[in-house]
């Protein structure tokens, strides 16, 4: 559904992304992993049409540059790492703003928009929060509201930048399970992720970036090796693999 | 059976809409009725209705009262309403596009530019600030527009991705520069100090229907554009990235809103001088009392701003009657404590 071909992203003389090519299909979850500054967020922003790039980004086989801004927004929903969540907006109002690409520039929401927002609220079990201001929600509830806003966009591609930042362990699993549910509904999910164990458990494909280049790509078992993590994160880790998945533990060196 | 969540965006709301409209109507009535010559609200109504051809209402007022009402007071009230509504709605819009609650309609240099333009006209063209001369308002309007264009060009020059912050800084730069030049010119021509000063403080003492006619089209067009953008302003409150990912052309939208707010503000300032505080106090009062959504803030600011400035003008012209207080002094003097009370009494997040 979403595909990049030789994607380059430059900030002046510095290339943040160097020749990224990948293809993500409906019902699939691709995780971009890599150390800080590897270019994960830059790549995701390019996919969302928020950053200028060289190369190609294709949506359903069509060049994004030939599509209008609104057309792209109907195909790709993007959630930044730290979304702005105006404290006084209610959850319902916030989720309704996700309908913007379906509403004419100066128009207002129609019935179909309210229904889509209601579906998104139900899908993320936020019905009873609909009238609550965003400022009164806990971190986990807020992240669900953010997902609901992206879901209300009804775009087939969902891009999430670090969806579990600042959440506790339980909330991380909850949010990732919800995202996985959306993936099973048929969305194409692309996320950046810091936690390698979680990345390996939820994404069926990992792309390891370092200094903008793809240095490893494949399943968790293929990518998350101790030498790979040591070489690209500068981290000393023990990798344990069993039937439940691949686990990456940091180990202190003395 | 699943419960269907109530999904609605709070707009103006019936109660808030009626209350604000009632406030404006009451303010207009007070503005027309109060003055050295008291004219009853009933007489004002009948006098107005006597102009409607088919009703055959008898004109209740004598020639003097009639002239006081329709030639002195009515244009003054109308102009104060136009200017107040414009400043409030422009302030609300600027706060929205810059996502900064302290922005006012003078942010991008409108005030400094208008002040400099007016000063130059008064000093070098020896233009009068009273008696329906068009030189000063025109110069103020031109100065305001020129200042904002320079500010915008300066803000844009740092690159589109940092424009929001850069525009605010460029506005401060522009305001400082125009104030410096204006003060310099003023110091060189101390004999006109009084005229310059009284223009800068702002007021409606010389308001005519002509002022109203000049100002009204700008205010109408500008506020129409801003009111139509009320939902888009809510989208922009999510930040540039998210608004863009929702399909909004953020920079073009910002430009459209800046142009609309600036044209309206410049037109308002050119006929009223510099009236501070309205653009901040009115939108924030709406936010505290009704909602922070721009769907409520924009239309209600327009109505409440109009009523607020009409009432302020009544105070300005009656407290020391027959002398007049500068209206800017009254807006700040009344507005600041009122705002403090509203702020203190608000318990909710809003």
Taking CA atoms, what residue in B is nearest to A115?
B7
Domain extent at residue B194: 39-344
Quick one: pLDDT at residue B349?
39
> Would residue B151 count as lying in a domain?
yes
**Cβ contact A50–B249 (<8 Å):** no
Quick one: pLDDT at residue B53?
83
> Would residue B46 count as lying in a domain?
yes
| DSSP per-residue string spanning chain A | -EEEEEEEEEETTEEEEEEEEEEE-TT-EEEEE-STTSSHHHHHHHHTT-S--EEEEEETTEEGGGS-HHHHHHHEEEE-SS----TTSBHHHHHHHTTGGGS-TT----HHHHHHHHHHHHHTT-GGGTTSBGGGS-HHHHHHHHHHHHHHTT-SEEEEESTTTT--HHHHHHHHHHHHHHHHTT-EEEEE-S-HHHHHHH-SEEEEEETTEEEEEE-HHHH--HHHHHHHH---EEEEEETTEEEEEE----
Q: Which of the two residues, A253 and B94, has the higher pLDDT score?
A: B94
Mean pLDDT calculated for residue range A87-103: 94
pLDDT band at B321 (very low <50, low <70, confident <90, very high): confident
Q: In Å, what is the CA distance from A48 to each residue of A64, A121, B242?
A: 10, 23, 10
pLDDT band at B62 (very low <50, low <70, confident <90, very high): confident
Counted across chains A and B, CB pairs separated by less than 8 A come out at 111
ipTM: 0.91
Quick one: pLDDT at residue B129?
59
- Per the prediction, chain B carries an average pLDDT of 88
> Would residue B28 count as lying in a domain?
no
Write down how long chain A is: 254
Tokens coding A79: 């959630």
pLDDT band at B8 (very low <50, low <70, confident <90, very high): confident
| Residue B265 and residue B129 in contact, taking contact as beta carbons nearer than 8 Å | no
Q: Please, which residues bridge with residue A189 across strands? A: A29, A158
β pairing state of A2-11 and A54-59: antiparallel
**Cβ contact B231–A106 (<8 Å):** yes
DSSP secondary structure code for residue B3 in this structure: P
| Residue B265 and residue B159 in contact, taking contact as beta carbons nearer than 8 Å | no
Q: Give the residue from A42, A86, A129 with the most B CB atoms within 10 Å of its CB, the best one to mutate.
A: A86
> Would residue B10 count as lying in a domain?
no
How close B108 comes to chain A (CA, Å)? 25
> Percentage of residues in chain A with pLDDT exceeding 70?
100
Q: How many angstroms separate the CA atoms of A99 and A114, rounded?
A: 9
> Would residue B94 count as lying in a domain?
yes
Report the residue from B5, B229, B293 with minimal CB separation from A122: B5
**Cβ contact B10–A90 (<8 Å):** yes
**Cβ contact B3–A76 (<8 Å):** no
pLDDT band at B350 (very low <50, low <70, confident <90, very high): very low
**Cβ contact A84–B244 (<8 Å):** no
What is the count of structural domains for chain B? 1
Mean pLDDT calculated for residue range A122-148: 93
Q: What is the 3-state secondary structure (H, E, C) of A103-164?
A: CCCCCCCCHHHHHHHHHHHHHCCCHHHCCCEHHHCCHHHHHHHHHHHHHHCCCCEEEEECCC
Q: Which residues contact A243 (CB under 8 A, 6 or more apart)?
A: none
User: What values do phi and psi take at A69, rounded to 5?
Assistant: -55, -45
Q: In Å, what is the CA distance from A20 to each residue of A14, A56, B174?
A: 15, 10, 44
pLDDT band at B235 (very low <50, low <70, confident <90, very high): very high
> Would residue B15 count as lying in a domain?
no
Sort out which chain B residues have CB atoms less than 8 A from A88's CB and list them: 287, 291-293, 349-350
- A15 close contact with B: CB closer than 8 A: no
- For the segment B249-285, what is each residue's pLDDT rounded down to a tens digit? 998 999 999 999 999 999 999 888 889 889 988 999 8
Q: How many angstroms separate the CA atoms of B67 and A124, rounded?
A: 66
**CATH 3.40.50.2000 for domain A2-250:** no
Q: How many angstroms separate the CA atoms of B155 and B164, rounded?
A: 8
Quick one: pLDDT at residue A210?
95
Mean pLDDT calculated for residue range A39-57: 92
Quick one: pLDDT at residue B130?
57
Quick one: pLDDT at residue B35?
87
Q: Inform me whether the pLDDT recorded for B242 exceeds 90.
A: yes
**Cβ contact B9–A126 (<8 Å):** no
Quick one: pLDDT at residue B168?
84
Q: Which residues contact B181 (CB under 8 A, 6 or more apart)?
A: B116
> Would residue B18 count as lying in a domain?
no
Compute the radius of gyration of chain A from its Cα atoms.
Answer: 18
> Percentage of residues in chain B with pLDDT exceeding 90?
45
Quick one: pLDDT at residue A12?
85
Run of H or E including B261: helix B250-272
How close A117 comes to chain B (CA, Å)? 7
- A227 close contact with B: CB closer than 8 A: no
Report the residue from A84, A118, A130 with minimal CB separation from B242: A84
CB atoms within 10 A of CB A211: 16
DSSP secondary structure code for residue B107 in this structure: T
> Percentage of residues in chain B with pLDDT exceeding 70?
94
Report the residue from A73, A130, A133 with minimal CB separation from B6: A130
Burial of B56 (0-12, 13-18, 19+ CB in 10 A): exposed
> Which residue blocks in B53-192 are alpha helix, DSSP H?
63-67, 74-98, 110-124, 135-156, 163-188
Quick one: pLDDT at residue B344?
75
**Cβ contact B247–A72 (<8 Å):** yes
Q: What is the domain partition of chain A in residue ranges?
A: 2-250
Quick one: pLDDT at residue B348?
46
How close A254 comes to chain B (CA, Å)? 44
Q: Which among B3, B32, B18, B54 has a CA at the least distance from the CA of B317?
A: B32
- For the segment A165-195, what is each residue's pLDDT rounded down to a tens digit? 888 999 899 999 999 999 999 999 999 999 9
Q: How many angstroms separate the CA atoms of A56 and B176, rounded?
A: 46
Q: Inform me whether the pLDDT recorded for A67 exceeds 60.
A: yes
The residue whose two tokens read 């929001």 is B164
Sort out which chain A residues have CB atoms less than 8 A from B241's CB and list them: 45, 50, 78, 80
| ω into B322 cis (within 30 of 0) | yes
CATH number, domain at B294? 1.10.3470.10
Q: How many angstroms separate the CA atoms of A189 and B205, rounded?
A: 64
**Cβ contact B292–A86 (<8 Å):** yes
In chain A, which among 101-120 make CB contacts under 8 A with chain B?
101, 103, 105-109, 114-115, 117-118
> Would residue B12 count as lying in a domain?
no
The residue whose two tokens read 């979680």 is A198
Which of helix, strand or coil describes residue B71? helix
**Cβ contact A83–B231 (<8 Å):** no
Sort out which chain B residues have CB atoms less than 8 A from A93's CB and list them: 8-10, 234, 293
How close A10 comes to chain B (CA, Å)? 14
In chain A, which among 113-172 make CB contacts under 8 A with chain B?
114-115, 117-118, 121-122, 126-128, 130-131, 133, 135-136, 153
- Asked which of A110-114, A209-213, B163-167, B260-264 is least confident by mean pLDDT, the reply is B163-167
Run of H or E including B12: none
């Amino acid at each position: 559904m979403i595909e990049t071909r030789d994607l380059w992203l430059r900030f002046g003389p510095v290339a943040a992304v160097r020749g990224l090519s990948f293809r993500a299909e409906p019902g699939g979850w691709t995780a971009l992993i890599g150390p800080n500054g590897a270019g994960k967020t830059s790549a995701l922003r390019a996919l969302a049409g928020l950053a200028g790039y060289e190369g190609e980004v294709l949506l359903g086989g069509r060049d994004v540059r030939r599509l209008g801004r609104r057309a792209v927004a109907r195909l790709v929903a993007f959630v930044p790492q730290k979304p702005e969540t105006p404290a006084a907006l209610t959850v319902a109002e916030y989720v309704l703003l996700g309908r913007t690409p379906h509403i004419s520039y100066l128009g207002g929401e129609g019935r179909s928009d309210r229904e889509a927002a209601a579906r998104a609220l139900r899908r993320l079990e936020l019905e009873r929060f609909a009238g609550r201001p965003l400022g009164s929600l806990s971190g986990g509830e807020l992240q669900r509201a953010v997902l609901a806003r992206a879901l209300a966009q009804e775009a087939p591609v969902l891009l999430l930048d670090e969806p579990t930042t600042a959440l506790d362990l339980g909330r991380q699993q909850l949010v990732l399970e919800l995202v996985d549910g959306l993936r099973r509904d048929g969305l194409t999910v692309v996320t950046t992720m810091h936690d390698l164990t979680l990345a390996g458990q939820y994404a069926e494909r990992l792309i390891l970036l370092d200094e903008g280049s793809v240095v490893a790509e494949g399943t968790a078992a293929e990518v998350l090796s101790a030498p790979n993590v040591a070489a690209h994160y500068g981290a000393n880790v023990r990798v344990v693999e069993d039937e439940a998945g691949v686990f990456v533990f940091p180990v202190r060196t003395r | 059976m699943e419960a269907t969540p109530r999904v609605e965006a709070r707009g103006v709301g019936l109660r808030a809409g009626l209350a604000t409209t009632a406030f404006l109507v009451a303010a207009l009535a007070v503005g027309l009725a109060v003055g050295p010559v008291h004219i009853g609200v009933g007489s004002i109504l009948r006098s107005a209705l006597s102009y409607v051809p088919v009703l055959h209402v008898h004109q209740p007022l004598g020639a003097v009262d009639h002239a006081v009402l329709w030639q002195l007071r009515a244009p003054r009230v109308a102009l104060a309403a136009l200017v107040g509504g414009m400043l409030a709605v422009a302030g609300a819009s600027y706060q929205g596009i810059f996502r900064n609650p302290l922005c006012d309609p003078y942010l991008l240099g409108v005030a400094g530019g208008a002040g400099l333009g007016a000063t130059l006209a008064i000093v070098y063209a020896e233009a009068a600030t009273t008696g329906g001369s068009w030189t000063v308002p025109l110069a103020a309007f031109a100065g305001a527009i020129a200042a904002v264009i320079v500010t915008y060009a300066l803000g844009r020059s740092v690159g589109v991705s940092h424009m929001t912050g850069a525009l605010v800084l460029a506005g401060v730069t522009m305001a400082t520069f125009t104030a410096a030049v204006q003060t310099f010119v003023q110091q060189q021509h101390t004999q006109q100090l009084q005229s310059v000063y009284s223009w800068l403080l702002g007021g409606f003492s010389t308001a005519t229907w002509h002022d109203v006619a000049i100002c009204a089209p700008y205010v109408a067009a500008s506020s129409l554009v801003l009111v139509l953008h009320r939902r888009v302003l809510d989208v922009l409150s999510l930040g540039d990235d998210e608004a863009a990912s929702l399909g909004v052309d953020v920079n073009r939208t910002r430009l459209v809103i800046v142009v609309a707010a600036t044209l309206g503000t410049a037109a308002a300032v050119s006929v009223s001088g510099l009236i501070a505080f309205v653009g901040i106090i009115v939108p924030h009062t709406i936010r505290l009392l009704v909602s922070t959504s721009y769907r409520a803030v924009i239309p209600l600011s327009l109505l409440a701003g109009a009523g607020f400035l009409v009432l302020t003008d009544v105070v300005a012209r009656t407290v020391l009657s027959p002398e007049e207080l500068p209206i800017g002094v009254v807006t700040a003097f009344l507005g600041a404590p009122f705002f403090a009370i509203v702020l203190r009494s608000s318990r909710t997040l809003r």
